[in-house]
Amino acid sequence: MIPFQEIGYLIGSVSFVLGLKMMGQPDSARKGNLVAAFGMGMAVIAALLFDEKGYHVINNIEFIVLAIFLGTLVGTIIAKRVQMTAMPEMVSLFNGMGGLSAALISLIEWRHHVSIDPPGGASMEMALYIPVIAGLIIGTISFVGSIVAWGKLNGKIGDFRFPSQQVINAIVLVAILVTAALNYTEFNASHSSFYFYITIALAVIYGLLFVFPIGGADMPVVISLLNSFTGVAAACGGFLYHNKVMLMGGVLVGSAGTILTVIMCKAMNRSLMNVLIGMAGGNGGGSATSASGGSVREVQASDVAVMLKYAGKVIVVPGYGLAVAQAQHACHELEILLESEGVDVKYAIHPVAGRMPGHMNVLLAESNVEYDKLIEMEHINSEFASTDVVLVVGANDVVNPAAKTDPSSPIFGMPILEVEQAKQIIVLKRSMKAGYAGIENELFFFPKCGMLFGDAKASIQKLLNEVKSL
């Protein structure tokens, strides 16, 4: 008999691996997404229509198909309508849904086991209990934490801190492990689910306390970490159902999320523990004068246009402000115009620019910027000294020299784009408001730094017009 289910799972697993690898390169990322989606479709079909003995439609197939249809419809509408500025919130929200699904799997399996094993019946084996309780705890923390991250990213939830919060977090985490152990003992003795629901409640509390104090500058790392949590929780579901492709997908998501988290921590020159307990990056405001009494130099679009037209090399540093203004297309137009004038134009990409990993890469790819023009921080920093003009569009913390000069700064030690080495620096910002880390940017007070205030898209459009008129 042909093992259709195993073949479907094999195709799904291979597609996941190929898709993930393709997502590692900007020019193949979209195809990688489609390949992985195809693999998921094959895995779902194999799970619904076959078993190890051959063709077999599972129970309640009509409800499952309806749920898939509704989920696909809602997800497609949201994804089509979401703005690039809201993409990090959407990623966090969707990741939370994955964690919730994993937690519900554990909850349903627990209740199923309770129903088939009445008091006095067989005890639950440890090999079954561990994936059930692990999926429940990790999935719940991932769901609650992702929802809090979603609220923090869209401004609905602010930083929430109180004295000894990290100590309390540690106590709650230990309490979760203790109640999980007590639940196993109690259930096998009397089939009570009391500690099971206590464990759920503690996991919800920990998910809240875990993300609440983490500031905006560290949110990309937290999103990546929560994504890895969701993958681990999904892998627990794979253990429960002996589903190889579910296990494979969960392991891939968990490992990829963990690797990305480590890479981002390295880019910030901080350990993961420092991110989680340091609570850096609270929201705040900036001022128009520095601690040393300096002042900013405001420039006009006509002056900047002259600099750009007659420059030999220009580097654009995109930031969250670029996404807010939806200025990526105008920025690409300016790039094309300057290159037609013989100017060498590149983009400097910081690993944690924006609100999620790869935010700037996705944003610029949307406007058809050539992938080889997107240069990562470690490769572009050596070029700033030979650059005539750096155009900082909505970036703040990733170009702040305080990361190298001010030990008291919450971003001290974080590698930055060393734009201060360029001959001229032009910063496009709406105002002097501080970035997401909530600290003042020393760069704005440098004599060779000029501030072009206004909406980034409108400012770039002015630059386009001015360069054309020269």
Are 232 and 190 members of one domain?
Answer: yes
Residue 298 pLDDT class (50, 70, 90 cuts): very high
Please report whether residue 322 resides in a domain: yes
Tell me, yes or no, whether 14 and 153 share the same domain.
no
Residues 24 and 132 reside in one and the same domain: no
Whether residue 125 has pLDDT greater than 80: yes
Residue 87 lies in a domain: no
What is the residue range of 367's domain? 297-469
- Mean pLDDT confidence for 383-400: 92
In a domain, 239, yes or no: yes
Are 312 and 272 part of one and the same domain? no
Residue given tokens 């770039």 in the structure block: 460
Say whether both 349 and 444 belong to one domain.
Answer: yes
Does this model's pTM top 0.85? no
| 58 and 159 together in one domain | no
Query: Phi/psi zone of residue 120: left (φ > 0), alpha (ψ -120 to 50 degrees), beta?
Result: left
pLDDT-derived band at 275, boundaries 50, 70, 90? low
pLDDT in tens, 95-106: 999 999 999 999
Is residue 258 located within the same domain as residue 313?
no
- Judge if 311 and 362 occupy the same domain: yes
Do 380 and 305 reside in the same domain of the chain? yes
Q: Is 317 inside any structural domain?
A: yes
For residue 11, the Cα-to-chain-centroid distance in whole angstroms is: 28
Say if residue 84's pLDDT is above 60: yes
How many domains, the chain?
A: 3
Question: Is 92 part of a structural domain of the chain?
Answer: no
Average pLDDT over residues 409-432: 88
| Catalytic residue ranges | 397
Q: Are residues 248 and 345 in the same domain?
A: no
- Pairwise CA distance, residues 200 & 226, whole Å: 17
For residues 23 and 120, state if they share a domain.
no
Assigned domain for 383 exists: yes
* Contact by Cβ (8 Å): 416, 404: yes
| Cα separation, 274 vs 222, whole angstroms | 12
Give domain status of residue 90, yes or no.
Answer: no
CB proximity list for 119: less than 8 A, separation 6 or greater = 190, 191
Residues 6+ apart with CB under 8 A from 314: 308, 338, 343, 344, 345, 346, 387, 388, 389, 390, 391
- Judged on CB neighbours under 10 Å (0-12, 13-18, 19+), 167 is exposed
Structure-token pair, residue 166: 């990290």
